[in-house]
């Protein structure tokens, strides 16, 4: 039977019939049997954010569950990169996790971080493949908005130049706005990661509007020579329209995958998401 929740989520979006059908006809929690999108549909790569494995560990300040072990399982399941956020308040990932992660995985490690002196020093020492600069407020539950690149041109230029000199790729987590995209190019970033939070939180026509903004922002960023990733708030029900935006290379997803892993296991949760991305 058609799931009314999923139908209402997808009816205003310009999905292909094939993808719309597979969303509408499956029971809500069965993602495994979804048909793969056809070869002509874009295939996004997947970065799995493992922060929330550490959130659970930190709830008891213990050793388990181990985010490093989680990263190895994600890699084995086919994830293209591992993402973690070393926050200034260390609420989930700890300094030690970072160095262990770097040694444990073969796929790229993308470190989300504030452009703060202490964290810049740690990143320069640990040398992840990529850093993604994000805004950070202590009181927020998660990264709530994009980075104000336009308002921090000089500091970001200097920070990015340092990372590039060390051979570390740089991405900036920004809202899908022209002014921030232009500024990202100006400060020398190679990537932008478009914040999909507003898309994820909106419904109906509002969601279609947010999707359009993401599409336009992607086109504009690519026209400036930037590579485009996206993420935040994406889940098994809302991810397909975003991965179909031409030009988006990778989606970084954490909360939904780690949450689902509690019930189906991490390997299966990652594989299900990969399938939705046409992989
Ligand atoms: N990308 C960035 C830059 C983020 O800060 C986060 C959240 O840590 C994500 C992606 C993943 O968001 P979510 O956990 O909602 O999938």
pLDDT digits (tens, 9 = 90+) for 9-42: 333 333 333 334 333 333 333 334 444 444 445 5
Taking the centre of ligand 1 as the mean of its atom positions, its distance from the CA of residue 134, in whole angstroms, is 10
pLDDT 10s digits, 160-191: 999 999 999 999 999 999 999 999 999 999 99
- Assess whether the C-beta atom of 2 lies below 6 angstroms from ligand 1: no
List of residues 6+ apart from 228 with CB closer than 8 A: 191, 192, 193, 194, 217, 218, 221, 222, 247, 248, 249
**Cα gap 172→145, rounded to integer Å:** 12
Q: 213 in a domain, yes or no?
A: yes
What mean pLDDT value characterizes the chain?
88
pTM for this one? 0.86
**Ligand 1 atom closest to Cα of residue 51:** 8
The answer to whether the CB of 146 is under 6 A from ligand 1 is no
State which of 81, 112, 144 you would mutate to test the pocket of ligand 1, scoring each by most atoms of that ligand within 8 A of its C-beta.
112
97 inside domain:
yes
Look at the chain and report how many structural domains it folds into: 1
pLDDT digits (tens, 9 = 90+) for 107-165: 999 999 999 999 999 999 999 999 999 998 766 777 778 999 999 999 999 999 999 99
Question: Which structural domain, as residue segments, surrounds residue 232?
Answer: 43-276
CATH of the domain at 149: 3.20.20.70
- Cβ of 197 closer than 6 Å to ligand 1, yes or no, is no
Compute the distance from residue 74 Cα to the ligand 1 centre, in Å.
16
Q: Give exposure, 152-171, as e/b (b: 16+ Cβ within 10 Å).
A: beeebeebbeebeeeebbbb
Quote the ligand 1 centre to 231 CA distance (angstroms). 6
Place of tokens 């987590």: 173
> pLDDT tens-digit profile of 38-47?
444 558 999 9
Residue 13 falls inside a structural domain: no
């Amino acid at each position: 039977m058609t799931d009314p929740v999923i139908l209402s989520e997808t009816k205003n979006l310009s999905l292909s019939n094939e993808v719309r059908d597979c969303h509408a006809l499956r029971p809500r929690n069965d993602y495994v049997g979804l048909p793969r999108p056809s070869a002509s549909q874009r295939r996004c790569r997947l970065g799995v954010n493992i922060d929330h494995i550490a959130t659970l560990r930190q709830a008891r300040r213990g050793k388990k569950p181990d985010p490093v072990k989680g990263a190895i399982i994600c890699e084995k399941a086919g994830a293209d990169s591992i993402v973690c956020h070393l926050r200034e308040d260390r609420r989930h990932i700890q300094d030690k996790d970072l160095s262990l992660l770097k040694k444990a995985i073969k796929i790229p490690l993308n470190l989300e971080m504030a452009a703060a002196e202490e964290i810049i020093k740690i990143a320069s020492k640990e040398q992840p493949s990529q850093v993604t600069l994000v805004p950070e407020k202590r009181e927020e539950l998660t990264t709530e908005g994009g980075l104000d690149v336009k308002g921090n041109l000089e500091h970001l230029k200097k920070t990015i130049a340092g990372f590039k000199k060390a051979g570390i790729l740089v991405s900036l987590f920004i809202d899908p706005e022209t002014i921030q995209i232009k500024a990202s190019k100006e400060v020398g970033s190679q990537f932008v990661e478009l914040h999909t939070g507003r898309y994820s939180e909106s419904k109906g026509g509002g969601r279609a509007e947010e999707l359009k903004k993401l599409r336009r922002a992607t086109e504009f960023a690519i026209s400036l020579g930037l590579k485009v990733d996206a993420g935040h708030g994406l889940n098994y029900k809302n991810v397909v329209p975003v991965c179909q935006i031409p030009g988006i290379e990778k989606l970084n997803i954490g909360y939904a995958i780690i949450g689902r892993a509690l019930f189906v296991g991490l390997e299966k949760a990652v594989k299900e998401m990969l399938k939705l991305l046409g992989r």
